[in-house]
């Protein structure tokens, strides 16, 4: 089973790395970019036999991967044909 | 228009950060995790009027966001109902 945890800064938190990328896009000739936000993506490959994997993975992501003061996270499970469930 | 660029390490590149997270999951009681890989996700908000945005964004991502020696990247465009196109 494959899962993907995406960790992003909360909307109200400033993202200077994203702003630097926005200026870089501008310098490269890609104009009209309003905003860029940078986050992390954590791809997890699990044994199919793990019981209760969605709950365990959400708990582990909450404790280990995201800082709840500044970040939000989302967990998606990727099916065999690339379909995703949240 | 919204787009999402995902930058991941190539499969043959070691990912010590991912391995540290795998051990952390184990310590938190989430067993049966085979592999964890960590990447970046860059969310871009563009004016709808930008002509040729997909090509320009791919070029800019290639030059600015990914290191082609060690990393792969994928660009997705997110439609109004959350649908994605590559």
Domain made up of B2-12+38-85: CATH architecture: 2-Layer Sandwich (3.30)
Global pTM value? 0.87
Domain A2-85 -> CATH class: alpha beta
Spatial separation of the C-alpha atoms in residues B69 and A40, rounded to whole Å: 20
Residue position matching structure tokens 């870089």: A24
Residue contact A28–B59, C-beta within 8 A: yes
Residue contact B56–A21, C-beta within 8 A: no
Share of chain B above pLDDT 70, in %: 95
Instruction: ipTM value, please give it.
Output: 0.85
Reduced to 3 states (helix: H, G, I; strand: E, B; else coil), residue A12 is coil
- Domains of chain A: which residue ranges? 2-85
Render pLDDT for B50-86 as a digit per residue (tens, 0 to 9).
778 888 899 999 999 999 999 999 999 887 766 677 6
Render pLDDT for A48-77 as a digit per residue (tens, 0 to 9).
887 788 888 999 999 999 999 999 999 998
Residue contact A44–B36, C-beta within 8 A: yes
* pLDDT given at position A83: 67
């Amino acid at each position: 089973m494959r899962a993907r945890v995406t960790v992003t800064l909360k909307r109200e938190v400033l993202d200077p790395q994203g702003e630097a990328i926005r200026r870089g896009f501008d310098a490269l000739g890609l104009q009209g970019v309003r905003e860029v936000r940078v986050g992390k993506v954590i791809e997890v490959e699990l044994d199919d036999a793990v019981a209760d994997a969605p709950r365990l993975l959400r708990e582990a992501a909450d404790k280990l991967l995201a800082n709840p003061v500044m970040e939000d996270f989302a967990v998606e499970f990727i099916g065999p044909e690339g379909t995703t469930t949240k």
